[in-house]
Chain A
């Protein structure tokens, strides 16, 4: 049995022939079929494709070929990543039924590493949201409490991993969309340094902020998945030329002598139960030999208002492509402009329209300097303040989210209340820095708490070293109520 096992353990067994990829895939499919009707992590499950890919892996093993470092490991893919011939919706009516003519680079790399794509996971429409309630195809539910949200926008990927349906999933993180749902579902979620992972085939939301990354049950798997998908891609000109930092090899290096700053802004402003866990995490790092100090980066408090001008501005431009001409929905009208406007009215949900409106306003004549221009300058202030902090510290520590998982429906009618869910995560996106959320105990209701480690650009090795120590020190938390045991 491999159900619930970490990915690298599964890959080892598949590679040495003690378990077949076919068995692993059947277990994952059975778990999905049994549990997902309650959780709704998946928008589509690829039964046939997964079985066929597993057979290929088993043939490679039998023939003595190298089946790859993630051989036979089931993986779920957020549905804003293109999969050739397989519907890719972004949880939007405007792309319902669309079949991309190409695979995202990260999907190609997963297949090359031997991983098996099991299906596409639910998200807030076009990754805009913090609860997965903004999906045109219905919300995903948190496996720890089905009345609560899994976070978002990668809520389907986080819930699929938390419920034990797959050991690995890909998400995307524009303002916290990997780390926030990871925290709320009790799994590990990591946003890589901007430019270390190709965005080719990631459907764009805010191009200067978007980055693809792993959601996993363990820190080791997070590093392994990052190693598998990272590295230069000539089809994404924002990809760094240098190789992405390799991370699996440093995991057991510990934190002896590392300087870790506990960010006041990411502790003082969050719920007491969450703040308490962050302080325990800081103590655990000190006990493991890190030099831990309190610190303050007041500029981080400007992150959320800056983000909620910059990201919608970029989105309003990126989503101009949904015009009813080349793909997706079209609502017929007499002129092109009327057709565009009717198509976008019918195809986009409320949050996407809200962000496009906000971004269009922030970029419009007369308001550009006051809103977009000012937010870009504030972005500079935040980047410089973080870089200054990293002259004193190797890594920073704080909460991932201001609260644990909230009830479905609680914030859906109050956009700013929902946006506040991202307050701890947006600074790393604005700066392009890596950050990871690691499960660290629970609150009084038994809901998972995530602590966040932040590092400077290309600081993934330090990030994973700190995360590994936190994982070992984490208080034991109750397993999810809904789980494929």
Chain B
């Protein structure tokens, strides 16, 4: 739905507010007078702290969103989920093997997945959550890592899962196993670390450290930005 310049009605924890229609949920709640002590983080759609559930008037559908990204809609009923209770199983990544049953060993509840797709419907990042839980169940670690790449551990999938799985924890284990044992090290990172150790950048950094505020401003304003990347 597109943002509107008009005022819209939203309900925060049941209380009615009139807010500008082009604000995100987070800004709208602050406009209404709420101060965020939990449930707010990077404000950039990356940290997963502002997980929110909402319904709109006239629709029974329960939707999930990130408060810092989602624009308000008229008749929105909002509830924040600042914390999802979940145990992250302790493991030593150095002692694990990327075997077919490794994920099942640490998160056996994955076997309870009903393939109902509720997790996918709740995800604000458009991830195919059910698909990656299923690939985790059958030991395809690489695929699980690939499908869960955009996950920010906001917790909405875990809150709604009827089988009581915590998909983002499963995904984290898969990505760690994949990175360590399957994909291998990122060569460009290793190369850059070597360059730093060889003090290739020391001179340039020194110049910047000694530059005045005006010189820095000049450099910053005239910098070349490569938007193709």
Please determine whether chains A and B interact with each other in the same assembly. no
